[in-house]
Amino acid sequence: MSATAEATLPLSPELFSERLKAATWRDHENAEYHGFTRALMDGTLPLDGYTAMVAQHYFAYAALEELGSRLADHPVAGRFVRPELLRLPALVRDLEHLLGPAWRDRVSPSLATRTYVARIEQMADHPEGFVAHHYTRYMGDVSGGQFIRRVVAEAHGLGDGHGVSFYVFDRLGSLPKFRADYRARLDALELDEPAAQRLIDETRLAYQLNTEVLADLGRAYCQ
């Protein structure tokens, strides 16, 4: 899923986190209310559609977390690299549960996901861009992911977290406190105006790339 789902749009953004939210609000809504996402959140998405989404998440997070490990000491990007956030181990557990021990032979990135991954990899030389992709993915998964976890588990009988461990963030402690801390880290970034605008523009692109992945899944599983 895409980034933070907050209740209201700020009217006069002064802090950078508010400015970022305001500038990307419509892109966030386009991803949040996509047909595939609605089916997922309504509990009407078939299990194979959910499984396909988990597989595409795997490729995106493999790229994002590998890049994060390379940028962990960077003064901008490194502020957001936290081991308790890492999703790749949970995605592997979910795919093992959903597809079996030979799951790697049964999944491949779609064209839309390959495009998404290629863009993430390009952020190796653009730490503000890494923050944009990090924000878009993790804040959305922490926020909306808790609801999705319950809906999918109920719809498909995935008890004890099996198949939905991607959405379990127990190591973060209080999720509201985590989100507040994340926004504070955004606000503390020392960015000149060009760098701030690059981060905003890249966040908008990250939403669009994610929406294209969802659209591709929707054509396959929501007809």
Q: So what's the pLDDT on residue 66?
A: 98
Assess if residue 3 is contained within a domain: no
Cβ neighbours of 34 (radius 10 Å)? 21
Specify binding-site residues for heme b: 21, 28, 135, 183
3-class SS letters over 184-195: HHHHCCCCCHHH
Assess if residue 6 is contained within a domain: no
Assess if residue 211 is contained within a domain: yes
Q: Which amino acid is at 116?
A: Y
Assess if residue 29 is contained within a domain: yes
- If one counts the domains in the chain, the total is 1
Task: Please report where in the chains the tokens 């994610």 appear, as a residue.
Answer: 210
Assess if residue 111 is contained within a domain: yes
Specify binding-site residues: 21, 28, 135, 183
Alpha-carbon distances, residue 46 vs 106, 130, 215, 220 (angstroms): 18, 32, 16, 11
Assess if residue 67 is contained within a domain: yes
| Residue 219 main-chain phi, psi, to 5 deg | -65, -30
Half-sphere exposure of 17 (CA within 13 A, CB side): 15
pLDDT tens digit at each of 223 positions of the chain: 444 444 444 444 589 999 999 998 887 776 666 789 899 999 999 999 999 999 999 999 999 999 999 999 999 999 999 999 999 999 999 999 999 999 999 999 999 999 999 999 999 999 999 999 999 999 989 988 889 999 999 999 997 779 999 999 999 989 999 999 999 999 999 999 999 999 999 999 999 999 999 999 999 998 7
Rounded CA gap, 15 and 85, in Å? 24
Q: So what's the pLDDT on residue 130?
A: 97
| Residue 208 main-chain phi, psi, to 5 deg | -65, -40
Assess if residue 75 is contained within a domain: yes
Assess if residue 12 is contained within a domain: no
Tell me which residue of 58, 93, 33 sits closest to 214, measured CA to CA.
Answer: 33
Q: Which domain holds residue 161?
A: 20-221
Rounded CA gap, 23 and 91, in Å? 30
Q: What is the CATH number of the domain that holds 211?
A: 1.20.910.10
